[in-house]
Chain A
Amino acid sequence: MDQDTWNFIFIGISFAIYIAIAVKSRATSTKEYYTAGGGVSPFANGMATAADWMSAATFISMAGVVASSGYDGSRFLMGWTGGFVLLTILMVPYLRKFGKATVPDFVGDRYYSQGARLVAVLCAIFICMTYIMGQMRGVGVVFSQLFDIGIPLGVFIGASIVFFYAGLGGMKGITYTQVAQYCVMAFAYTIPAIFISIILTNNFIPQLGLIGNYTQGGGDPTPFLEKLNNINQEIGFSNYTDGSLSTINMFCITAALMCGTAGLPHVIVRFFTVKNVKAVRKSACWTLVFIAIIYLTAPSIGAFSRVNLIEKLNSTKYTEAPAWLADYERTGQMAWVDKNDDGIIQFSGPGKSTAEKKGNSVFISDNKKPAYPAASADKSQRIGKHGERLLSLKPDLTNPNELYFGTDIMVMANPSMGGLPKWVIALLMAGCIAAALSTAAGLLLVLSTSISHDLMKKIIKPDLSDKEEVNYARIASFVALGVATYFGINPPSAFIAKTVAFAFGLAASSFFPTLLLGIFSKRVNKQGGISGMVVGISFTIGYIIYFQFLGGTEDQYLFGISPEGIGVIGMLLNFIVTITVSAFTPAPPEEVQRMVRRIHNPRGAGEASDH
């Protein structure tokens, strides 16, 4: 059977399962729509949250980022798992006890102010919207590659499927579909890793392979990471196990990712679906276990595929290179420019560059992506003399590197690089789609709840009935999906990719301190809360915009912190402003103080999620 048939079989089966689950567990009340009726088991909720948390970007790109930046990639590994420790210990048990359906609900009630609620709603909508656009794009790209259709049609198909079960099923439908999606993702991620680990290190557990010996080719077993360091140095990269980021940057970015994770509204609401506070703790534990299964595999995949890629391609004649190289050239994810005209692929790092500002770019381009002549161009302009796909860009002759590859291919090409059977690749495709769909569905729900519940019911039209509210939620999710689809088809260029990374900084500087102080301090009041949120988020947005869009340069960085990590400073500012302003303004009313005391008693969360 050929690859397409396998793909159709695996993706078809997985879709049939998702839709069957969605139809069977569709929501019938607001309570079921928002929080699945509050009765999901901690184990199932943990799995669903893990699927929600891991987006297509995490699934596809993370191992690639680790592969290309080595130790520096640890900031994502630690940041996105360590955040769950903060989330579980400091946030969700208390928010669950508070017992409302959404995060802006808590902010609005705790800071007894519609203004605070509105700021929180806007932050939540902004964060979710930037996220979901990237997801829809991801779905579209995978579909278009699979079925050879245009990206717009791919995005459209993805959107219809998400709307079908998120819009109809609500949180209940989503939760149970995500359980199935997690299983698909976990298999898809670990099985190729196991195969490759056996080939390279003769160890069937990838995590042990990473700390084991390199045994491929029958030579003397050398420590795997030492082998990787040697390869890296040989071709002019820095040591794989040493970073190139400064310690303060590493520290701040990791901290911003962690605190951001703990302040992301779409993750927090997941814990409102379980029965009581005890179940919340258990569920968070399961969530991290399921996330760890994939996050512990990612560094192994990264390291393995880097060795594989260099061994298979570097110093190889193009005409003798493996067939998958041509496949990825066709999709624009890899490119080869024969700078020295010898027909051999040379891959090298910034260390071999002769330019003052060291780099290893293959071609000169503004967005670092390859561009090609139009399909109507003459054949001699499209195809080189060795059969390679030609680019329309000028080669960068300041360095000898000839090989371009996007970080995404590290996971997708892994099975082909290892020469694994076709069904493994099909499984990976199904996993990738599962990752994108589960995250998009979760985000869509939070978006629609923010609009129907927080905006319509709590601010604009308080006399909304339950049934009308669910209808508004469905309309809102339809509209939100429409907007996301539009931007998925016409992405506002590099802006999206950047904002997704910065959403964490924004969450860290707005929600995290506000929620934390709201939970642990009785004294913090509405003036403090609002001014803290506004100062924190405006400082962070301002810094990011200045350096990303207004041409700020690196030597202007505050304490040498890059925009990625600035959320931490925004967060500290938020803390300081909230506490200072609160100290000079009157204490919150007695009933709010009583509410704060009450959420520290873990009992009696049973009636939660009524409103």
Chain B
Amino acid sequence: MEQNQIDQDTNETSGGYRKSSLTILFSLLTIWFVVSFGCGILFREWLDQFTIGTAPLGFWMAQQGSIICFVLILIAYAVLMGRLDEKHGYSEKSAKKVIGKETK
């Protein structure tokens, strides 16, 4: 049991975990890029033909919308990664339980 604890902490993570965490990372970074550089800068002029309230959408995305999206991205990141850690037994809380299960 003691030995296993150390192995869990020092050894690399499983391939499945790494793949899922990279998927989360890239999808969130894509959203990050689209809402800020995309909506706020590259496609701003096109978006300005729409309005939110009375404000042009592109301008609003650059000054308000992107920031709101950033906060949502970080909330999503904390939740998704927390869930992933739990599933693979890397979270601090589930550590004991999973070690018990994986001892062969």
Contacts and interface: CB of A to CB of B under 8 A. Distances in A.
Instruction: Answer yes or no: are A and B bound together in one complex.
Output: yes
Contact of A225 (B10, B54, B81, B95): B54
A603 to B, nearest CB: 5
Interface in A249-273: 250-251, 254-255, 258
B69 to A, nearest CB: 9
Interface string A571-611: 00000000000000000000000100110111110100000
B44 to A, nearest CB: 8
Interface stretch (A282-290, A384-392, A449-457, A523-531): A282-290
A131 interface: no
Contacts of B95: 603
B55 A276 contact: no
Interface in B45-74: 48, 52-56, 59-60, 62-64, 66-68, 70-71, 73-74
B70 A81 contact: yes
Interface stretch (A291-299, A439-447, A469-477): A291-299
Contacts of A224: 54-55
A251 B41 contact: yes
B42 A296 contact: no
B37 A281 contact: no
Interface centre among B8, B41, B75, B81 (most CB of A within 10 A): B41
B100 interface: no
Interface stretch (A70-78, A118-126, A181-189): A70-78
A254 B37 contact: yes
B67 A66 contact: no
A84 B12 CA distance: 27
B23 interface: no
A223 B82 contact: no
B78 interface: yes
Given A85-B70, A602-B90, A603-B91, A281 B64 contact: no
B39 to A, nearest CB: 10
Contacts of B74: 84-85, 88, 281, 284-285, 288
A81 B67 contact: yes
Nearest to A606: B92
Interface in A57-74: 66, 71, 73-74
A297 B103 CA distance: 54
A289 B12 CA distance: 33
Interface string B11-55: 111000010010001001100100011001110100010001111
B29 A89 contact: yes
Nearest to B5: A604
Interface string A235-259: 0000001000001001100110010
Contacts of A332: none
Interface string A81-93: 1101110111001
Nearest to B37: A251
Interface string A375-386: 000000000000
Interface centre among B10, B28, B63, B85 (most CB of A within 10 A): B63
Interface residues of A, number: 54
Contact of B67 (A77, A281, A285): A77
B9 interface: yes
Interface centre among B67, B75, B91 (most CB of A within 10 A): B67
Given A77-B63, A251-B42, A285 B70 contact: no
A102 interface: no
B29 A602 contact: no
Contacts of B66: 77-78, 81-82
B42 A597 contact: no
Given A85-B74, A211-B52, A288-B71, A254 B12 contact: no
Nearest to A604: B9
A226 interface: yes
Given A89-B28, A211-B52, A74 B60 contact: no
Given A212-B54, A295-B67, A601-B90, A78 B78 contact: no
A74 B63 contact: yes
A569 B52 CA distance: 35
Contacts of B59: 71, 74, 225, 241
Given A74-B63, A85-B32, A602-B91, A223 B37 contact: no
A136 to B, nearest CB: 29
A285 B78 contact: yes
Contact of B8 (A211, A289, A603): A603
A254 B42 CA distance: 12
Nearest to A303: B63
Given A82-B66, A85-B32, A223 B55 contact: yes
A65 B46 CA distance: 25
B77 A281 contact: yes
B63 A299 contact: yes
Contacts of B85: 277-278, 602-603
A480 interface: no
A178 interface: no
Contacts of A77: 62-63, 66-67
Contacts of B91: 278, 602-603
Nearest to B48: A241
A17 interface: no
A78 B12 contact: no
Contacts of A81: 66-67, 70
Contact of B73 (A85, A250, A254): A85
B52 to A, nearest CB: 6
Contacts of B73: 85
Contacts of B29: 85-86, 89
A467 to B, nearest CB: 30
B54 A250 contact: no
B62 to A, nearest CB: 4
Given A82-B32, A603-B92, 16 more contacts: A71-B59, A85-B29, A88-B74, A89-B77, A250-B41, A278-B82, A285-B78, A594-B12, A600-B13, A600-B18, A601-B8, A601-B12, A601-B90, A603-B85, A604-B8, A606-B92
15 contacts: A71-B59, A77-B63, A82-B70, A88-B77, A89-B29, A224-B55, A251-B42, A278-B82, A278-B92, A281-B82, A289-B71, A292-B68, A299-B64, A597-B12, A598-B12
The 9 closest A-B pairs by CB, nearest first: A211-B53, A223-B54, A597-B12, A604-B9, A74-B62, A211-B55, A281-B78, A299-B63, A241-B59
